[in-house]
Structure 1
């Protein structure tokens, strides 16, 4: 259906030469990065307690603009990330972009994208696969949830995206809205979500939408954003009664950016409603300093709480006998990034973590989680 819709859209635009001038422009870009991870206490991206090279990212993306008001963009990605991702190539996103109104007319731009579209989630979700474009090798886990099995559900969806950009004086505002087609989790997605063997049965996602409003002041010196993701989960697992949950994630983001110094942070509130309602939250604050145009250092403090009413996990420990530290994570991180030319770069960072609430379950099956723990990550990357 999506392919037929795109073909019909192109044909319709081609039949309207006054509005859509033929313009066969295209771009091709790519990237590749290889990482090394060494940890003490828990595994991260493979068997990192002994040192792991199971962190690798490779992508090829292209943009083609056959008409002035129509563009087509896509990316093919191969990602190796320990037990969670085996490196099999997949389509990360692929969509047709129809510009309904151009910015040059009156300071407004409106458009519609159809296909597999990236979710406008927080500050960094849309560029999370490119090490040059994210704030660290390991994204802040209080917001981007790699260790909790939500990465594939957050990055992109099949559906449509409406967007608008508005220039109003000293402010520039972007509004983006995604609505996804209903879908059923694959076996790999269920395995990642449940942190182990994929349970028999179906997990169906409906009413999935993401809305983000982002505003810049003073040509990008200040940026604020608000994101709301909502979805309904229907579980029909063998041996268990059917269950239905409504989930939402609200993210509040802010960034202050100067020539050498940047300061930014995000806070998220997750609500999960079924027979009962639970809420988790977390956030981080990060500062970056650019010593030279190619050398940047950062420091970050972050926290994640799986139950915002039981931040130290003590009530959970009393009720279950399980360790309290599995319900939270408090982290400190620091690192350096050296981009020695326009194509090559290398990053290194150190994380000290108290609590195991964001430890990836797939990399730590059949072993107890430890707290505190730490991680050293090094990654070299190339882009063109």
Structure 2
């Protein structure tokens, strides 16, 4: 499945033609299990121990129906285990929306979604939890970070979308306002201070153009995520945390291969603190280039380079380490990934991939003590998944 198709799944479902309500109820689901082995550092469990980690499991169940021809009700419940991330196996509402379509014809689809909607963020965020939609076991961690995934995953509020169909392409526009799902993973990853974060009204939007049936896809995604920040170490240290990412996305699809690249510029800011040492701003950036070759209808091969830096003004982390805040290599990550994907049956997939990583910028703090990490490390992942 190409990335552009995955990115617009939510909008595309809302744009289906009206049909008899009795025939619209659908239930789908998926399950996956992975084995992760690292030579240094831990990822999703004690992966560096003998035998690796089996602590990466995903279970999902979704349903949708149309009570009226212009109304869609859809939702998904997700249960996952990812090392020490969050509440293991705790069922969560991944998304749940009531979609009211005001316009639906051959040229346009326009509607409103109320509820918990998946944020339109890059090519993959809206469907990132379904293994069959991902080009690899792990998405590029520089942009689709798993160690603080709740920060950009979904929002509770209102989303508006518009789909304009032209003779040689389709323009998708989606924007929303709501309360982001800022959970403990974001608190742990944001700072060793392990602050308390309470989400505030935030906004996100995306413009995506698919040309020639998805042969060329380009997108711009922007967001402003806000939360109240309170230190657990200094009671007087409280203020506001703001996260502002911007992603430029491009994909070209040929008959047997696809080239995808995304660039993210992000700003993290702490402001309005009485304790002035907390106030500050850091600008980071990320980029990946991904080549996917379809060897046959069942086999595909992937090669990717993924780069992330936490502070554009301190790319090698020297000033960060000199200030006594941590290791210099914790401020960047350079990841070379290659892998294969075997579609055993239309519903059953087996994947394998190898990562060679320099740096720990996206390494989960939930699984690691920053003082006992290694700069250069390797990771092998094997995963099987089934969807229905």
Q: How does the TM-score come out when normalised to structure 2?
A: 0.87
> Given the alignment, which residue of 242, 246, 256 partners 1:246?
242
- Matches of 1:123 and 1:79 in 2, distance apart? 22
What pairs up with 1:1-384 in 2 under 5 angstroms? 23-24=21-22, 25-50=24-49, 51-85=52-86, 86-104=88-106, 107-147=107-147, 149=148, 151-181=149-179, 185-186=182-183, 188-189=184-185, 191-194=187-190, 199=195, 202-238=196-232, 239-273=235-269, 274=271, 275-320=279-324, 322-365=326-369, 368-384=372-388
TM superposition shift of 1:41: 1.2
- Matches of 1:366 and 1:327 in 2, distance apart? 11
| 1:343–1:195 Cα change, 3 Å | farther
TM superposition shift of 1:205: 2.1
Partner of 2:142: helix, strand, or coil? helix
TM superposition shift of 1:190: 5.5
| 1:164–1:321 Cα change, 3 Å | closer
Deviations 1:84-115 (A, max 9, x none): 041211111111111110032xx011000101
- Matches of 1:345 and 1:232 in 2, distance apart? 38
- Matches of 1:324 and 1:240 in 2, distance apart? 29
TM superposition shift of 1:195: 6.8
TM superposition shift of 1:366: 6.9
- Matches of 1:223 and 1:311 in 2, distance apart? 30
- Matches of 2:251 and 2:20 in 1, distance apart? 39
- Matches of 1:321 and 1:90 in 2, distance apart? 34
Cα-Cα RMSD: 1.9
Structure 1 window deviating more from structure 2 (152-161 vs 107-116): it is 152-161
| 1:181–1:138 Cα change, 3 Å | closer
Deviations 1:294-333 (A, max 9, x none): 1010000010000011111122222327321111001100
Any conservation in 1 of the 2:150–2:186 contact (CA below 8 Å)? Answer: no
Partner of 2:352: helix, strand, or coil? strand
Give aligned pairs, total. Answer: 357
- What residue in structure 2 maps to residue 6 of structure 1? none
Deviations 1:232-257 (A, max 9, x none): 22213352322223320001100000
TM superposition shift of 1:194: 4.6
- What residue in structure 2 maps to residue 16 of structure 1? none
- What residue in structure 2 maps to residue 11 of structure 1? none
- Matches of 1:330 and 1:288 in 2, distance apart? 19
Partner of 1:48: helix, strand, or coil? coil
- Unmatched 5+ stretches in structure 1: 1-19
- Matches of 2:216 and 2:188 in 1, distance apart? 36
Deviations 1:109-159 (A, max 9, x none): 100010111111000001111111012111101111113x2x112111111
| 1:257–1:74 Cα change, 3 Å | same
- Matches of 2:212 and 2:125 in 1, distance apart? 24
Q: How does the TM-score come out when normalised to structure 1?
A: 0.88
TM superposition shift of 1:162: 0.5
- What residue in structure 1 maps to residue 11 of structure 2? none
- Matches of 2:104 and 2:83 in 1, distance apart? 43
- Unmatched 5+ stretches in structure 2: 1-17, 272-278
